[in-house]
Amino acid sequence: MSILFKLSEEILDKLRKAEQAKNRYMLISFSGWPDAGNVASLTTRHFIKSLKPEKLIEFESSDLYDLTINRPAVKIEEGLMKELAFAKSELYLWRDEGQRFSLLIFSGVEPSFKWEEFAEKILELCRAMSVQRMYLVGGVLDMVPHTRKPKISAVVNMERLKLEAKIHGFLLSNYVGPASIHSSLMLKARENNLEAISVWGHASNYIPYPNAIVALHLAKKLAEMMDISMDFTALREMAEDLAQKVRKMIDENPDLKRVVEGIERRYDEELGSPSYIT
């Protein structure tokens, strides 16, 4: 199915029913460039695992990608070509039993091409359910220590959202440089008078593993902002396992230990002395 997929009458009917909820949101993440440390994908996958939403659509869009960068996966057994799988995008819908919340969750690979067309398809979904706010999740590598409270920065598409972002402990971004598709989606949302907040978890650049520590903090913040109750046990266990793995990695590498200690000192000098993770 291409980017120009049409919503079936069955899916439209489900979105119309979901429109009756008081609070209607969309959560979006992309793997690839905006997913450093796998922070975005880990966060979204936890929402899917915890809330157990219904999968509405799964589709391949090979025309959206530079296949020399986002290469499809091939399966070969004893020299015999078995299958070739292109990147998939998935759309889920969750509704709580009390009919207070409706949440669309989109997970896919950041497109290489047709950003404007892609953004319009996302807005089509939002309009179908009368979504009130779009949350976009990203990850960025940074010189931050894993021993401190995770740093989360935010970008908003409307002035009135700045205060809310600050209240939830996000740092408002100042940035000039290469953009992600988040920017295209947020501007398109503003054209449609739809609120959008893009939140970015800062992953320690010396950790060569998916950063569940940052993802856990980010998932909790998003659930808090949406006022949705979730079970974080699985993600918390992943974060604890990562913390143990990193401690061992540092204990076995004196050079890395000195690097981390230096990052901690600079971080504390710039931002004060935030609490250690407990």
Confidence at residue 112, expressed as pLDDT on a 0 to 100 scale: 87
Alpha helix (H) residue ranges in the chain:
9-18, 39-51, 115-129, 162-167, 181-191, 212-226, 233-251, 254-271
Q: What is the mean pLDDT of the chain?
A: 92
Q: What is the pLDDT of residue 1?
A: 41
pLDDT in tens, 133-168: 999 999 999 999 999 999 999 999 999 999 999 999
**Amino acid letter for position 234:** A
Which is the CATH superfamily of the domain at 21-74+81-271? PAC-like subunit (3.40.50.10900)
Please tell me the least confidently modeled range out of 20-24, 83-87, 118-122, 170-174: 83-87
Indicate the domain borders of the chain.
21-74+81-271
Work out the percent of the chain whose per-residue pLDDT is above 90. Answer: 81
Tell me the Cα Rg of the chain: 20
3-class SS at 147?
Answer: coil
pLDDT for res 2: 47
pLDDT of the residue at 39: 98
pLDDT digits (tens, 9 = 90+) for 104-133: 999 999 998 889 999 999 999 999 999 999
Q: What is the predicted pLDDT for the residue at 5?
A: 63
